[in-house]
Amino acid sequence: MSDEPERIAMPTDRLVDRFGRVHNNLRISVTDRCNIRCTYCMPELVQFLPRQELLTFEEIERFVRVSTALGIDKIRLTGGEPLVRRDLPVLVGKLANVPGIVDVGLTTNGMLLAPAARALFDAGLRRINVSLDTMDPARFERLTRRPGFEKVIEGILAAKEAGFDPVKVNAVAIKGETDEDVVPLGRFAREHGLELRFIEYMPLDAGNAWERDKVLYASEILDLLSRGIGPLSPAPDQDPRAPAVDYDYDDGGGRVGLIASVSRPFCGSCNRVRLTADGKLRNCLFALDETDIRALIRGGAPDSELAEALRESVAAKWEGHQINAANFIKPERLMHSIGG
């Protein structure tokens, strides 16, 4: 077999499922490891994957090159916590330079962001989302089971200084736990020119503690912000394929996005597919089936076979995640091992 990588022709077809949804967004988990233990994401004690089971940077780059031939043009790197993966800016640079990729983003908990922000920006990263559920250090430690609130704030401000614009802050909204954080987070975002995004609490927690009564709904969040800070109106430039519905403050003081995964599922416009850190392809966050891309790559499969596996996975995608259906089945993988 030649050492020269196989070239596949750019096809005219795209990644389209049986419901007509076109997929151009690939979310790649680079590790299942994390330096915090958020209660809604992972258990306190967890056994991580052996490092040899993770896709290498070269394997990730190869799959991305195959994917671009099928219309993938946006990449988001996730974890676990992606910044615990050594030399992550190297991977960012590789992916940013793949022909056809127009956007590389990162979702991080921010703990390790401050010293890495400039290198990530210089490598070609342009979009960054930092997870922060509370402005109270004690509650932060209770939710994450680790100290480090100040490091996250430092990371957010370092990202701004490095040139990321906007810096987005993701907050998981849990009724009875983070209700009183909605307004302080809103004020913090306005003060620093951040774009705040609230995410409804989803059933992917380790302890099976999720209950519908614990979901702080998007409508309730919007009401809290409107009463506590000021009126908001739907943003005029909505992206119909984005998971968040955006609102602008009427006084021009910033934007808030609401990801209503439970109360208003956005499955009908989903354009995303996921690759786990151990190389499993998932066509939905809540998917019950996976395609083993790592086995194909390490087994010597040609690019055309990888492309066909991606095409088949997307084609088989279901209509929606069924959180609100009686027959909903929670996937075996937890959030940290899927990729946020």
Please give the annotated binding residues for [4Fe-4S] cluster, written as ranges.
34, 38, 41, 267, 270, 284
- The amino acid present at 37, given as its one-letter code, is R
- Whether 323 and 261 have beta carbons less than 8 Å apart is answered as yes
Secondary structure class of 23 (helix, strand, coil): strand
Could you tell me which residues are beta bridge partners of residue 325? none
Binding residues for GTP: 27, 76, 107, 168, 272-274
Element (H, E) at 188: helix 182-192
Residue 58 in tokens = 């070269």
What is d(CA 288, CA 299) in angstroms, rounded to the nearest whole number?
Answer: 24
Binding residues for S-adenosyl-L-methionine: 40, 80, 131, 202
Residue 250 in tokens = 């009427």
63, burial (CB in 10 Å: exposed 0-12, middle 13-18, buried 19+)? buried
Residue 176 in tokens = 């009875």
Instruction: Name residue, tokens 């915090």.
Output: 36
DSSP string, 316-336: T--S---TTSTT----SS-HH
Could you tell me which residues are beta bridge partners of residue 275? 28, 281
Contacts of residue 76, defined as CB under 8 A and 6 or more positions apart, other chains included, come to 25, 26, 27, 28, 104, 105, 106, 107, 127
What is d(CA 303, CA 274) in angstroms, rounded to the nearest whole number?
Answer: 18
Binding residues: 27, 34, 38, 40-41, 76, 80, 107, 131, 168, 202, 267, 270, 272-274, 284
Per-residue DSSP letter, 203: S
In this structure, are strands 232-234 and 245-249 parallel, antiparallel, or unpaired?
A: antiparallel
What is d(CA 225, CA 216) in angstroms, rounded to the nearest whole number?
Answer: 13
